[in-house]
Chains A and B, each alone.
Chain A
């Protein structure tokens, strides 16, 4: 039975996938797939921030969670840097005081847990996406599936 040649590793697509979710597949000429990936990963990441506030991305206080979130790519690093440098004051989120609006509100309870989970799942899914962009695709084509 003739087997189709395995495509070579695609380091450029892998690097692009690390830079922005979906960019690697867009480079490989799969725009619909790239759109689905970008909508899923970035939707979950920013959905998590929408649910729990920017407090869910915190490399200082939630180091282990941030390790998973950072897999989303530079977007996660930038959001964390904005939080650490532009929103926190002296490494702390200021407590709300009468007549003064804090830069952001610390999230607690279920919305904090779920927001953190959203952003971390986004990062873990993006790891699958990066591997799929970098390694030869293992998806069976319709022709191969009929033979199998």
Chain B
């Protein structure tokens, strides 16, 4: 008999192995919340600044991912082809 145990928050890892890249969004939000709280001159524009920095982090990391993909999958095999 196969039994599956219920997920226990904070004790068991979350089952997001196939969707791990979605975890970039809360990570970027957490960094932005803290960094803008320290750097913001006035807290009036805080929510907008947090959203702006969150977007910048997500775009920046995604761009790095795309650049890495191009280098590893396209450029390196083109420059150093494997012997047939």
Contact = CB atoms under 8 A, between A and B. Distances in A.
A50 B7 CA distance: 11
Contacts of B27: 44, 47, 114, 117-118, 121
A145 B41 CA distance: 10
B30 interface: yes
B10 A36 contact: no
A126 B11 CA distance: 24
9 closest A-B pairs (Cβ-Cβ)?
A40-B34, A36-B37, A40-B33, A107-B13, A44-B30, A110-B20, A104-B11, A105-B12, A53-B13
Interface of A: 25, 30, 32-33, 36-37, 39-41, 43-44, 46-47, 49-55, 87, 101, 103-105, 107-112, 114-115, 117-118, 121-122, 125-126, 128-129, 132, 139-142, 145
Given A47-B30, A49-B10, 14 more contacts: A25-B37, A37-B37, A39-B33, A40-B30, A51-B23, A52-B14, A103-B11, A104-B11, A104-B12, A107-B12, A112-B13, A117-B27, A118-B23, A139-B39
